[in-house]
A and B are shown apart, each in its own frame.
Chain A
Amino acid sequence: DAEITQSPRHKITETGRQVTLACHQTWNHNNMFWYRQDLGHGLRLIHYSYGVHDTNKGEVSDGYSVSRSNTEDLPLTLESAASSQTSVYFCASSESRDPDVNEQFFGPGTRLTVL
């Protein structure tokens, strides 16, 4: 069955270190998204991609970057981790940009702690 996976599931790092969170989907979806989830804020969009070599900034992109070299993967990099980036990170994908059918499929999440 097609799926979307994230790794690692849990990560503890120190302030200033570079961290990369992996996201891999086997749906063959063109669209991929990264969100962070914090209490009281719901899900906030960090970066998204509509296809290979396409990347776009979301609502809270400062301090994060993504690259899309193939359809299946959209790794999220924290260039210099900060305590404010302690959060749960979710990757998602969708098949279509058609707003009538753009439901998203989510990965299980990565809990990141920055000490």
Chain B
Amino acid sequence: SQQGEEDPQALSIQEGENATMNCSYKTSINNLQWYRQNSGRGLVHLILIRSNEREKHSGRLRVTLDTSKKSSSLLITASRAADTASYFCATANFGNEKLTFGTGTRLTIIP
């Protein structure tokens, strides 16, 4: 069963705009991770946020985590055409080192 559910399922924005996608999950977690998948390729790890963290930055990426609402958001600022990809959240649950992936948000950046 899926732990994470991304929202929206698809998002199209103009180049230069900010893109925000959300992830909701069901059970307590150790950490939450975001991955990117370009068409026809494997997933690439972007960022990991621990359950005791509320916000984390990496370059143009900003991730927030609200454990009380069991949700996370990924913000990509100043989007570029190369950001076109699918983005997945994945959760690592307490007592379980495996990751459970959501169904993904497909992001399209319009040049």
B25 proximal to A (CB < 8 A): no
Q: How far apart sit A62 and B47, CA to CA, in the bound complex (Å)?
A: 32
Nearest chain B CB to A61 CB, angstrom units: 13
Q: How far apart sit A105 and B103, CA to CA, in the bound complex (Å)?
A: 18
Give the contacting residue for A100; candidates B50, B100, B102; CB below 8 A.
B50
Q: How far apart sit A90 and B88, CA to CA, in the bound complex (Å)?
A: 14
Contact with A along B38-78 (1 / 0, CB 8 A): 00111111001010000000000000000000000000000
B30 and A99 contacting across the interface, CB-CB below 8 Å: yes
Interface residue tally of chain A, by bracket? 20 to 34
Instruction: List A residues 2-40 near B (Cβ within 8 Å).
Output: 31, 33, 35, 40
Candidate in B35, B48, B97 with the most chain A CB atoms within 10 angstroms: B97
Q: How far apart sit A98 and B96, CA to CA, in the bound complex (Å)?
A: 10
Residues of A within 8 A of B35 (CB): 106
Main secondary structure of the interface of B (DSSP, over half): strand
Q: Count of chain B residues with Cβ under 8 Å from any Cβ of A?
A: 25
Instruction: List B residues 89-106 near A (Cβ within 8 Å).
Output: 92, 94, 97-104
A58 proximal to B (CB < 8 A): yes
Given contacts A45-B98, A99-B31, A99-B92, contact A40 B103 (CB under 8 A): yes
Q: How far apart sit A58 and B104, CA to CA, in the bound complex (Å)?
A: 20
A102 and B2 contacting across the interface, CB-CB below 8 Å: no
A103 proximal to B (CB < 8 A): yes
Chain B contacts to A: CB under 8 angstroms: 1-2, 30-31, 33, 35, 40-45, 48, 50, 88, 92, 94, 97-104
Sampled A-B contacts (21; CB under 8 Å): A41-B2, A42-B2, A42-B104, A43-B43, A43-B101, A45-B98, A45-B100, A92-B42, A92-B43, A99-B94, A100-B31, A100-B48, A101-B48, A102-B99, A103-B33, A103-B48, A104-B45, A104-B99, A106-B35, A106-B44, A109-B40
